[in-house]
Amino acid sequence: MDFLPLAITNYSDAHTSPESELLQRLNRNTHAHIMAPRMLSGHIQGRFLSMVSWMIRPRRILEIGTYTGYSALCLAEGLTEDGLLITIDQNEELEDFARSYWQQSPLNSKIDFRLGKAVDILPTFTETFDLVFIDADKRNLSTYFDQIIDKVRPGGFILADNVLWSGKVVEPVKSSDLDTLAVLAFNEKVHKDPRVENVLLPVRDGIMMLRKRN
Ligand SMILES: C[S@@+](CC[C@H](N)C(=O)[O-])C[C@H]1O[C@@H](n2cnc3c(N)ncnc32)[C@H](O)[C@@H]1O
């Protein structure tokens, strides 16, 4: 969801570096052939993720929620020479589609896909991450934060997507709306957590940016 007027969104689009031809094709073909294409980060958010990655120059990135592999390609752009991005998704039907685009990129060898439920895979990691992008099911947002916070290096960053949840975070919420309740709980939790500093950016559907204190 976009919170800005369409004219402002279009102006921002027009004044943001364009997607590569590969990302453009992946974006277009996700919209043409894959269910729920709104899940794809898209042009501006993709360039934002790339920019963050270039600013940090991470050696290890963790992504929770691969979908068709668009954000993985964007985040991998800023990796160091020996860098690696691990990306997790439980949907095996998307794996071949995502891989077919990664294979057309020089970044392919830096992307390590893990199939399965994130809650099961996260505890198996022994490495330390410089940057984590959380973009999977919202009900586990707080669980993912708890599972990875000790695996983020001091001074490292976590980004969580969709934290404005189409604006539902500021509307009356029903007790049956477990997704909105989970997003609200996550935003409160990390905002109060003394281990991190945070900025809630109203970009696209809202990105929570966290920096783990040194
Ligand atoms: C919003 S999409 C990710 C979009 C992608 N990051 C991008 O920007 O192009 C969310 C993905 O999370 C995956 N997912 C949802 N719940 C999951 C879980 N419990 N474990 C692993 N993956 C999950 C879904 O299969 C879906 O592909």
Look at the block and give the residue holding tokens 């990390």: 190
Q: What is the distance between the alpha carbons of residues 58 and 79, in angstroms, rounded to a whole number?
A: 5
Strand 111-115's sheet: what is its strand order? 111-115, 84-89, 60-64, 129-134, 152-161, 207-212, 196-201
Residues 86 and 59 sit within 8 Å (Cβ to Cβ): no
> What's the pLDDT tens digit per position in 71-82?
999 999 999 999
Q: Percent helix, strand, coil in the chain (nearest 5)?
A: 50, 20, 30
Domain boundaries, the chain: 6-212
Provide DSSP, 11-27: HHHHTSPPPPHHHHHHH
> Percent of the chain having pLDDT more than 90?
98
pLDDT digits (tens, 9 = 90+) for 1-53: 568 899 999 999 999 999 999 999 999 999 999 999 999 999 999 999 999 99
Ligand 1 interacting residues, C-beta cut-off 6 A: 39-41, 65-67, 70-71, 88-91, 94, 117-118, 135-137, 140
pLDDT tens-digit series, residues 159-191: 999 999 999 999 999 999 999 999 999 999 999
Pocket residue to mutate for ligand 1, from 35, 38, 135, 207, most atoms within 8 A of Cβ: 135
**Predicted interface score ipTM higher than 0.85:** yes
Helix (H, G, I), strand (E, B) or coil at 83: coil
Whole-angstrom Cα distance, residue 144 to residue 64?
A: 9
Residue 210 confidence (pLDDT) above 90: yes
Fold for 6-212, please state it: Rossmann fold (3.40.50)
**pLDDT for 3:** 80
